[in-house]
Amino acid sequence: MRYASLHPIIAIVPVIAAVTFGRVLPAWTLSLATVAASNALVALGIVILARTGNVSFGQGLFFAAGGYGVALIARAWGVTDAVVQVLLGAACGGLLGVVVGPLIARYSGIFFGMLTLALSMVFYGVLVKTTVLGGSDGFNVGRPSLFGITFADAREADFVLYALSVATTGLAGIAARILFQSEFGLVSLAVRENNLRVEYLGISSRRVIAINFAVAAMLAGASGAFALMAQRHIDPQFAYWTTSGEFVFVAVLAGYQSVVAVFVASLVLELVRSFSNLYMPNTWQLVLGVFLLAVILLLPEGIGSLWSRKSRKKVAPVRVSEMAEKEARS
């Protein structure tokens, strides 16, 4: 049986295995995997949006909206439950996406990308100037809890965050796979290929882009909540363009063909970053750049193309007269 023919819900097995595996992982890899899973969530949103032919260079906007939203609610009402915080982060990012999406869906290509970047930088500027939010220093939040339990042991707290981020990202991946195979997923691909024809068929391509945009924003908001819980601190850097750039970096590495590739790309990127930072502390960005160039040159459609590439045999085009002949013979 081909992998593609399996129901996406089967993927819950490797998600459970990955969560369980966290019990035997060394402490340093737990936090690395948590960051990788969290970043993968934003990159997954970018991949979902990229299937409509648009790339957002400003997902930091929603990442920061999720993080700040959760942090402010935690500070005001003492909401510390990790699950609730993830849901709140997703809601904050998603709501902002619902507002911004229809406006930005009027544009495409480079204008779309630069507008998202501009909006995230406007938000960054506002955050830096807002002293009640701590200005450029940001502010701290308390340790998260889970179902009323606060984990004092650092290893246990790290594991809980790891398990929650891997489970959330895994479930988001399963949902994304179902979305990709759905009617809406097919129409999204059609928008990328020929949005004029989509309009002539009677579908609003702007509406399709806006919905995908809101989904991507929701995932970025949830990821912002994870980043907040991991650092227990938030600052305007969440919305800065380099943060958005990292998410695009993961999405480019992954390509748009595979959900699994997003997680693999995010993990590979974190590993390359960690090891290059350890062994080449002054030139780790150079290593990262060379790594990205190598992937773009060798796998222009991303890591996912290693196993998702459709084999295109060279075949002669079928002609109407040949079809007529075949029919006449039969």
Partner 1 sequence: MTSLLSVRKLEKRFGAVVAADDLSIDIAAGQKVSLIGANGAGKTTFVNMVTGYLKPDRGAIALNGFDLGRRSPRRVAQLGISRSFQIPQLFVDLTAAENLAVAISATHAQALSFHSPAEAQGRRQKAIELLERFGLAQQADRPILELAGGVRKLVDIAMALIRRPKLLLLDEPTSGVSAEEKFATMDRVVHAVAPDAATIVFVEHDMEIVSRYADRVVAFYSGRIIADGEPHTVLKDANVRRYVTGSAR
What is the closest distance, in whole angstroms, from the C-beta atom of residue 195 to partner 1 in the complex? Answer: 10
Q: Which lies closer to partner 1 via its Cβ, residue 237 or residue 305?
A: 305
What is the closest distance, in whole angstroms, from the C-beta atom of residue 2 to partner 1 in the complex? Answer: 14
**How far apart, in whole angstroms, are the C-alpha atoms of residue 321 and residue 49?**
41
Q: Which lies closer to partner 1 via its Cβ, residue 118 or residue 187?
A: 187
| Cα separations in angstroms, 263 against 16, 38, 218 | 15, 9, 18
Q: Which lies closer to partner 1 via its Cβ, residue 154 or residue 201?
A: 201
- C-alpha closest to that of 191 among 204, 173, 177: 204
How is residue 261 written in tokens?
């590739």
**How far apart, in whole angstroms, are the C-alpha atoms of residue 16 and residue 7?**
16
What is the closest distance, in whole angstroms, from the C-beta atom of residue 68 to partner 1 in the complex? Answer: 29
Q: Which lies closer to partner 1 via its Cβ, residue 146 or residue 178?
A: 178
Q: Which lies closer to partner 1 via its Cβ, residue 94 or residue 134?
A: 94
| Cα separations in angstroms, 2 against 12, 41, 180, 250 | 17, 26, 17, 27
Q: Which lies closer to partner 1 via its Cβ, residue 81 or residue 301?
A: 301
- In a 13 Å sphere around the CA of 320, the CA atoms on its Cβ side amount to 0
What is the closest distance, in whole angstroms, from the C-beta atom of residue 212 to partner 1 in the complex? Answer: 11
Contact 39/238 with Cβ under 8 angstroms?
no
How is residue 223 written in tokens?
């990821």
What is the closest distance, in whole angstroms, from the C-beta atom of residue 225 to partner 1 in the complex? Answer: 23
**How far apart, in whole angstroms, are the C-alpha atoms of residue 205 and residue 188?**
8
Contact 262/44 with Cβ under 8 angstroms?
yes
What is the closest distance, in whole angstroms, from the C-beta atom of residue 223 to partner 1 in the complex? Answer: 21
Contact 47/256 with Cβ under 8 angstroms?
yes
Question: How many residues does this entry show for the chain?
Answer: 330
Q: Which lies closer to partner 1 via its Cβ, residue 156 or residue 322?
A: 322
Give the binding site for partner 1 (CB under 8 A): 178-179, 181-187, 189-190, 193-194, 196-204, 208, 312, 315, 317-321, 323-324, 326-327
User: Hey, how many other C-beta atoms are within 10 angstroms of the C-beta on 1?
Assistant: 5
325 by DSSP, 3-state: which?
Answer: helix
138 by DSSP, 3-state: which?
Answer: coil
What is the closest distance, in whole angstroms, from the C-beta atom of residue 208 to partner 1 in the complex? Answer: 8
